[in-house]
Amino acid sequence: MNMPSMHSGGFTADRLLLFGATGDLAQRMLLPSLCALHADELIDPELKIVATARSELTNHEYRNFARAALEKYLPADRRGGMADFLNRLSYQPLDATTLDGFNALAEKVGQPGQGLAIFLSTAPSLFEPTIKGLQHAGLDGANVRMCLEKPLGTDLATSREINDAVASAFPEERIFRIDHYLGKETVQNLLALRFANLMFEPIWNAAHIDHVQITVAETVGLEGRVGFYDDAGALRDMVQNHMLQLLALVAMEPPGSFDATAVRDEKVKVLRALRQVESGETVTGQYRAGAINGKAVPGYDDELGRESNTETFVAIKSHVDNWRWKGVPFYLRTGKRLPERVTEIVVQFRCVPHSIFAGKGATMQPNRLVIGIQPEENITLSLMTKVPGLDREGIRLRQVPLNIAMPDAFSGAVRRIAYERLLLDLIEGDQTLFVRRDEVEAQWQWIDAIRAGWQADGLIPKTYTAGSWGPSAAIALAERDGVSWHE
Ligand code: BG6
């Protein structure tokens, strides 16, 4: 048994209460992550998991449901001790819209020895009634933590409503807001790269960096999330949370230490320094029928069954208005039904100030750092080198990659689901990789202003063919500045 690390917040939870326990997230991520943590003996044998949702299921039926989810979503070699894991689970049906069932739920949870962690992954409309129900049943004491899964509102106003409702029962130091990108190993590695190496930080600024690109490209389409996605769109579904968190990690000042307050203080400063985007600095798109990896796929309107003005692609030229980043554009783009699944950050450095080889006919390209987050986890630094030879006809230089493939560098290490890390941190009470209220609100503020701009301009998404890199205007957005998207 590995010892749990001790963090602020004081207790390691020995009860976990999962709302939305029959939902998609529970099946794909939460149950598999918990089972994998169990298999690796990372959670205390005493930890009991109470699952709740509207369906009328017995404990036995829920365990069967969980087993089916694990067999589908967790690789067989990570399912060690699955039967024991299933025995940790119990189930209590609940209609969260009324107070009636909460006392029975509290009874099922019982008295925790140390503390209770609650994971709320339900429709946002159920947040408020659920908080009321928890208060009613006394499940809001000093030894209770609350974890919230997105979407946390659809704009600043609705996000504040949710945050206020949660804050009426739990103080901020016991609220854990998930952005699952922060649970990804390569995203955390970004901090190691920046702050555990000497060579990057001195040149990590406007004097040496020309621009930054952040791409989150997906090949999937609507995936049956018709109702949710059409009300959200790419800006709110991906940029408001995941992409702004990546941007904040790239742009933040070095925190004094790797702890929840220091890291989040620095991130929020970046989010607050985001310059309001001007019209002409965003491009939106919506996919039409096309092909991905040689397979025909329908258009967004076909999948939806009607026309819609929701964007499935967005590209933004953004700026962080502070000393470090003066004049450095951050180009962001994300979309569904793009040619490949790739999440990466590209840091494009400036040219050397003077080429000593110019008189010998050599051309140079500036250095570039590419941080691959998924599916490939790698770090590539492009360097200029001399092409071997006697140089009788001039010196030739060529860009070559210095490439670290993380899986090769750490071949023995288990590749974990982002939620494994986040659930463990929730149980142990470490907020470093969770999003603080001021961050969420700064994110929404910036996003709301973009949406207001779109509305004022009457912006309608341009169409793009599924399997392409979005509307051509997105390419033009970067090329106007002499920048090409990294592909
Ligand atoms: C979710 C979005 O937050 O992130 C989805 O709602 C998106 O639309 C998903 O597909 C992407 O996550 P990942 O981990 O697959 O990059």
Ligand 1 centroid – CA 194 distance (Å) = 25
Q: Give the integer Cα–Cα distance in Å for 407 and 415.
A: 8
Q: Is the CB of 140 under 6 A from ligand 1?
A: no
* pLDDT, mean of residues 358-378: 94
CB 46 within 8 A of CB 86: no
Going by pLDDT thresholds of 50, 70 and 90, the confidence category of residue 9 is low
* pLDDT, mean of residues 134-159: 95
Ligand 1 centroid – CA 104 distance (Å) = 34
Question: Using omega within 30 degrees of 0 as the cis cutoff, is the peptide bond preceding 151 cis?
Answer: yes
Ligand 1 centroid – CA 251 distance (Å) = 22
Mutation test residue for ligand 1: of 33, 177, 230, 237, the one with most atoms within 8 Å of CB: 237
The tens digit of pLDDT for each residue in 342-362 reads 999 999 999 999 999 999 999
- Give the chain's largest Cα–Cα span: 88
Given the residues 242, 319, 354, 486, select the one marked as catalytic. 242
3-class SS letters over 138-201:
CCCCCCEEEEECCCCCCCHHHHHHHHHHHHCCCCHHHEEECCHHHHCHHHHHHHHHHHCCCCCH
Q: In what order do the strands lie in the sheet with 462-465?
A: 397-405, 378-386, 368-374, 342-349, 209-217, 329-335, 313-319, 282-288, 462-465
Residue found under tokens 């029959």: 22
Backbone angles phi, psi at 249, to 5 degrees: -70, -35
CB 149 within 8 A of CB 124: no
Atom of ligand 1 nearest to the CA of 150: 3
> Does 282 have pLDDT greater than 80?
yes
What is the percent of the chain where pLDDT is above 70? Answer: 98
Q: Is the CB of 344 under 6 A from ligand 1?
A: no
| Parallel, antiparallel or unpaired: strands 329-335 and 48-53 | unpaired
Atom of ligand 1 nearest to the CA of 237: 6
Backbone angles phi, psi at 463, to 5 degrees: -85, 150
CB neighbours (10 Å) of residue 60?
Answer: 11
CB 340 within 8 A of CB 485: no
- The tokens describing 24, both together, are 């998609």
CB neighbours (10 Å) of residue 191?
Answer: 16
Enumerate the domain spans of the chain: 15-177, 182-479
> Does 240 have pLDDT greater than 80?
yes
Residue 119 per-residue DSSP state? E
> Does 286 have pLDDT greater than 50?
yes
- Among the residue ranges 57-66, 381-390, 398-407, the one predicted with the least confidence is 398-407
* pLDDT, mean of residues 282-311: 96
Ligand 1 centroid – CA 240 distance (Å) = 12
pLDDT at 444: 98
401 bridge partner residues = 382
> Does 281 have pLDDT greater than 60?
yes
What is the three-class DSSP state of 220?
A: coil
> Does 3 have pLDDT greater than 80?
no
Size (the chain), residues: 487
Q: Is the CB of 218 under 6 A from ligand 1?
A: yes
Ligand 1 centroid – CA 218 distance (Å) = 9
CB 55 within 8 A of CB 93: yes
- As a CATH number, domain 15-177 is 3.40.50.720
Degrees (nearest 5) of the Cα angle 220, 223, 229? 100
Closest C-alpha to ligand 1, atom 8: 237
Atom of ligand 1 nearest to the CA of 181: 14
* pLDDT, mean of residues 155-162: 95
Asked if 15-177 and 182-479 have one fold, the answer is no
Going by pLDDT thresholds of 50, 70 and 90, the confidence category of residue 5 is very low
pLDDT at 355: 94
Give yes or no: 242 in active site.
yes
DSSP letter string over 270-296? Answer: HHHTBPPPPTTSEEEEEEESEEETTEE
Q: Give the integer Cα–Cα distance in Å for 331 and 182.
A: 20
What is the three-class DSSP state of 366?
A: coil
Q: Is the CB of 237 under 6 A from ligand 1?
A: yes
Mutation test residue for ligand 1: of 242, 246, 420, the one with most atoms within 8 Å of CB: 242
Going by pLDDT thresholds of 50, 70 and 90, the confidence category of residue 412 is confident
pTM of the prediction? 0.96
The tens digit of pLDDT for each residue in 416-474 reads 999 999 999 999 999 999 999 999 999 999 999 999 999 999 999 999 999 999 999 99
pLDDT at 15: 97
CB 126 within 8 A of CB 97: yes
The tens digit of pLDDT for each residue in 206-216 reads 999 999 999 99
Report which of residues 7 and 395 the model is more confident about: 395
Q: What is the CA radius of gyration of the chain?
A: 24
> Does 2 have pLDDT greater than 50?
no
Burial of 353 (0-12, 13-18, 19+ CB in 10 A): exposed
Identify the helix (H) or strand (E) that includes residue 233: helix 226-234
Going by pLDDT thresholds of 50, 70 and 90, the confidence category of residue 226 is confident
CATH of 182-479, one of 3.40.50.720, 3.30.360.10, 3.40.50.460, 1.20.210.10: 3.30.360.10
Q: Give the integer Cα–Cα distance in Å for 353 and 361.
A: 17
Question: Using omega within 30 degrees of 0 as the cis cutoff, is the peptide bond preceding 375 cis?
Answer: yes
Q: Give the integer Cα–Cα distance in Å for 106 and 94.
A: 11
CB 417 within 8 A of CB 40: no
Q: Is the CB of 179 under 6 A from ligand 1?
A: no
Going by pLDDT thresholds of 50, 70 and 90, the confidence category of residue 8 is very low
Atom of ligand 1 nearest to the CA of 225: 8
The tens digit of pLDDT for each residue in 39-54 reads 999 999 999 999 999 9
- Among the residue ranges 103-107, 171-175, 225-229, 291-295, the one predicted with the least confidence is 225-229
Which of 161, 70, 175 has the alpha carbon at shortest distance from 118?
A: 175
